[in-house]
Amino acid sequence: MAPASSRAFGLAEASIEELFLRSGALRDGHFLLKSGRHSGRYLEKFLVLQYPSLGVEIGRRLAAELAPYDPTLVVGPTTGGVLLSFETARQLSELLGREVRAAFAEPAPASDAAGRRALRRGWPLSADERVVLVDDILTTGASLLETADAVRAAGGEPLAAAVIVDRSTTPVAAGFPLRALGSVEIESWSAETCPLCREGLALEKPGSSPP
């Protein structure tokens, strides 16, 4: 059964794209993507996660996808994966009738030249730990794969992963089942073929990271 907040606002029946639209996280315009390509739509994931009701509903769906793996620990990459891992673990605890822990993988110290992620907070992983991963938007899969490596470095092995939206253009070779709650179609073009450039629309560089 969906949480009361989800039933009250009709969130349980909404598609992932509708959840992004409700929060203003799916924007229209002319955007420069990190890949260098241009697009007329952009997903700003943190505009979704700022609303507890939406975070609870997304966590409910992630938990439903991962419950069959009977997990004992949920791990997500910083930053969005922190919220997702803890909410998913909370809802898995209710579904499974036992406590499920949550943790996050963050960038290693600057002294680590490889720039890997790690579980740096002293979280223990037992030999029989059943670990699942969560993430927000899957594009290249880099953050999810780095999180998987962090789990392995700590002595565990991911059983499966779930993401909110899969926007990858080629299959991500994760080595374990990878599920997505939904998809959002966003067409993109090279700068040379961008129709929005030809229309003279101002180009915006979105995102929270500094250039």
Total-model pTM: 0.83
If one compares 34 and 130, the residue with the highest pLDDT of the two is 130
pLDDT at 211 exceeding the cut of 60? no
Does residue 211 lie within any of the structural domains? no
In a domain, residue 149? The reply is yes
> What per-residue confidence (pLDDT) applies to 6?
43
Output the pLDDT for position 1: 35
Q: How many domains does the chain have?
A: 1
Q: What is the mean pLDDT of residues 166-194?
A: 88
pLDDT value, residue 111: 58
| pLDDT(26) > 70 | yes
| 205 found inside a domain | no
Per cent of the chain over pLDDT 90 is 56
104 located within any domain: yes
Inform me whether the pLDDT recorded for 9 exceeds 60: no
Residue 208 within any structural domain of the chain: no
Task: Give the DSSP H/E element, type plus range, for residue 95.
Answer: helix 80-96
In this predicted structure, the answer to whether residue 163 has a pLDDT above a threshold of 60 is: yes
Quick one: average pLDDT of 42-52?
A: 88
Q: Is 4 inside any structural domain?
A: no
Among 17-21, 53-57, 93-97, top mean pLDDT goes to 93-97
Please state the separation of Cα 43 from the chain's center in Å: 12
Instruction: Write b or e for each residue in 135-170: b if 16 or more Cβ atoms lie within 10 A of its Cβ, otherwise e.
Output: bbbbbebebbbbbbbbbeebebebbbbbbbbbbbee
Confidence of residue 13 (pLDDT cuts 50, 70, 90): confident
Domain contains 25: yes
The CATH number of residue 155's host domain is 3.40.50.2020
Length of the chain: 211
Measure the CA–CA gap between 168 and 118, rounded to whole angstroms: 24
Residue numbers of the domain that contains 49: 16-198
Instruction: List, for residues 62-77, the tens digit of each pLDDT value.
Output: 999 999 999 999 999 9
